[in-house]
Structure 1
Amino acid sequence: MSTQGKTSLGHRAASATVWGGVNMVLGRVVQFATTIIVARMIAPEHFGALAVAVVVQTIATNMAELGATASLARGNGDPERIAPTVFTIALATSGILTAAAVFLAPSVAMAFDDPAATPVIQVLSLTILLQGFSAVPSTMVWREFMQRPRVVVDVCSVVTVLVLVVPMALDGWGAMALAWSRVGGQLVSLTGYWIITPKRFRPGFDRSVAAEVLKLGMPLAMANLVVFVTLNVDYLLVGRMLDPTALGLYLLAFNLAGLPSSVITAVIRATAVPTFGRLYAEGQLGALVGQIVGGVCYLAFPISALVVGLANPLIVSAYGVAWAPAAAALATLGVFGAARILVELFADISVGAGRTTWLFWVQVAWLAVLFPALFFAIGQWGIAGAGLAHALVACLVVIPMYLKILTSVLGIGVLELMRGCIIPFLAATAAGLLAWLVAAGVDSPFGALLLGGSLGAMVYAGLTFRRGRRLIHTLRSLLRDSSPLLVSEPAKEVTP
Structure 2
Amino acid sequence: MQETSSLKRKTISGLFWSFADLVANQGIQFILQIILARLLLPEHFGLIAMIAIFIAISNSIIDSGFTQGLIREKDANQEDYSTAFYFNLFMAFVMYIVIFILADTISAFFGEDQLVPILKVLSLVLIFNSFGIIQRVLLIKKVDFRTQTKINIISGIISGIVGIIFALKGYGVWSLVVKTLLMQLIQSLLLCFFIKWIPSFVFNVNSFKRLFGFGSKLLVSGLIDTIYNNIYFIIIGRVFSTAQLGYYTNAVKLRDITSQSITASVQRVTYPVLSGMQEDGERLKHGFRKIIKTSAFINFPIMLGLAAIANPLIHLFYGDKWTSSILYFQLLCVAGMLYPLHAINLNILQVKGRSDLFLLLEIIKKSVLTVFIILSLWFQLGIIGLIWAAILNSFVSLFINTYFSAKEISYALKEQITDLVPIFVMTIFMVGVVSLSGMILPEGNVIKLVSQISIGIVIYVVVSKLAKIEELITIYGLFVPLFKRMKQKLSQ
Contact 2:66–2:215 (CA under 8 A) maintained in structure 1: yes
Residue 425 of structure 2: aligned partner: 426
Contact 1:112–1:240 (CA under 8 A) maintained in structure 2: yes
Opposite residue 8 of structure 1, the aligned amino acid is: S
Contact 1:328–1:383 (CA under 8 A) maintained in structure 2: no
Matched, 1:313 2:312: yes
Residue 117 of structure 1: aligned partner: 115
66-75 vs 415-424, greater mean Cα deviation? 415-424
Matched, 1:444 2:444: yes
Matched, 1:405 2:408: no
SS in 2 for 1:219: helix
- Partners of 1:66 and 1:194 in 2: how far apart? 21
Residue 478 of structure 2: aligned partner: 475
Residue 383 of structure 1: aligned partner: 383
Opposite residue 165 of structure 2, the aligned amino acid is: P
1:89 alignment partner, one of 87, 90, 94: 87
Alignment of 1:101-250 (within 5 A): 101-197=99-195, 199-202=197-200, 204-250=202-248
Distance 1:177 1:383, change over 3 A: same
- Partners of 2:355 and 2:5 in 1: how far apart? 29
Matched, 1:302 2:301: yes
Alignment of 1:6-85 (within 5 A): 8-85=6-83
Tell me by how many angstroms 1:478 deviates.
9.9
- Partners of 1:374 and 1:447 in 2: how far apart? 39
Answer 1 or 2: higher relative contact order, Cα 8 Å, separation at least 6. 1
TM-score, normalised to structure 2's length? 0.91
Tell me by how many angstroms 1:457 deviates.
2.1
- Partners of 2:472 and 2:364 in 1: how far apart? 39
Contact 1:301–1:425 (CA under 8 A) maintained in structure 2: yes
- Partners of 2:374 and 2:232 in 1: how far apart? 9
Residue 292 of structure 2: aligned partner: 293
Tell me by how many angstroms 1:244 deviates.
0.8
- Partners of 2:331 and 2:116 in 1: how far apart? 31
Distance 1:462 1:322, change over 3 A: same
Contact 2:274–2:288 (CA under 8 A) maintained in structure 1: no
- Partners of 1:365 and 1:5 in 2: how far apart? 39
Distance 1:204 1:237, change over 3 A: same
SS in 1 for 2:338: helix
Residue 484 of structure 1: aligned partner: none
Structure 1: segments with no counterpart, 5+ residues: 481-496
SS in 2 for 1:159: helix
Residue 454 of structure 2: aligned partner: 454
Residue 488 of structure 1: aligned partner: none
Structure 2: segments with no counterpart, 5+ residues: 484-492
Tell me by how many angstroms 1:256 deviates.
1.1
- Partners of 2:207 and 2:140 in 1: how far apart? 21
Distance 1:244 1:391, change over 3 A: same
Contact 1:87–1:135 (CA under 8 A) maintained in structure 2: yes
- Partners of 1:473 and 1:207 in 2: how far apart? 48
- Partners of 2:284 and 2:196 in 1: how far apart? 27
Residue 271 of structure 2: aligned partner: 273
Tell me by how many angstroms 1:477 deviates.
11
Tell me by how many angstroms 1:239 deviates.
1.6
Distance 1:430 1:182, change over 3 A: same
Quote the sequence identity (%).
21
- Partners of 2:368 and 2:481 in 1: how far apart? 41
RMSD after superposition: 2.2
Tell me by how many angstroms 1:203 deviates.
5.1
Contact 1:161–1:182 (CA under 8 A) maintained in structure 2: yes
167-176 vs 358-367, greater mean Cα deviation? 358-367
SS in 1 for 2:132: helix
CA offsets 1:30-74 (integer angstroms, 9 cap, x no match): 111111111111111110001012222122112212111212112
Opposite residue 409 of structure 2, the aligned amino acid is: L
TM-score, normalised to structure 1's length? 0.91
CA offsets 1:268-296 (integer angstroms, 9 cap, x no match): 13322211211113433223211110010
Tell me by how many angstroms 1:5 deviates.
9.4
Residue 99 of structure 1: aligned partner: 97
Tell me by how many angstroms 1:173 deviates.
1.6
Contact 1:30–1:159 (CA under 8 A) maintained in structure 2: yes
Contact 1:233–1:371 (CA under 8 A) maintained in structure 2: no
Tell me by how many angstroms 1:300 deviates.
0.3
SS in 2 for 1:167: helix
- Partners of 2:199 and 2:11 in 1: how far apart? 25
- Partners of 1:299 and 1:261 in 2: how far apart? 10
CA offsets 1:173-227 (integer angstroms, 9 cap, x no match): 2112111211111111001111222643335211111111111111112211111
- Partners of 1:204 and 1:152 in 2: how far apart? 31
Contact 2:15–2:269 (CA under 8 A) maintained in structure 1: yes
Distance 1:476 1:52, change over 3 A: closer
Distance 1:477 1:74, change over 3 A: farther
SS in 2 for 1:412: coil
Tell me by how many angstroms 1:479 deviates.
7.1
- Partners of 1:160 and 1:299 in 2: how far apart? 30
Distance 1:112 1:434, change over 3 A: farther
Residue 492 of structure 1: aligned partner: none
Distance 1:137 1:203, change over 3 A: farther
Tell me by how many angstroms 1:6 deviates.
9.3
Contact 1:53–1:124 (CA under 8 A) maintained in structure 2: no
Distance 1:405 1:120, change over 3 A: same
SS in 1 for 2:211: helix
Distance 1:423 1:43, change over 3 A: same
Tell me the matched-pair count: 477
- Partners of 2:65 and 2:449 in 1: how far apart? 42
Residue 373 of structure 2: aligned partner: 374
Tell me by how many angstroms 1:329 deviates.
0.8
Contact 2:50–2:237 (CA under 8 A) maintained in structure 1: no
Opposite residue 474 of structure 2, the aligned amino acid is: L
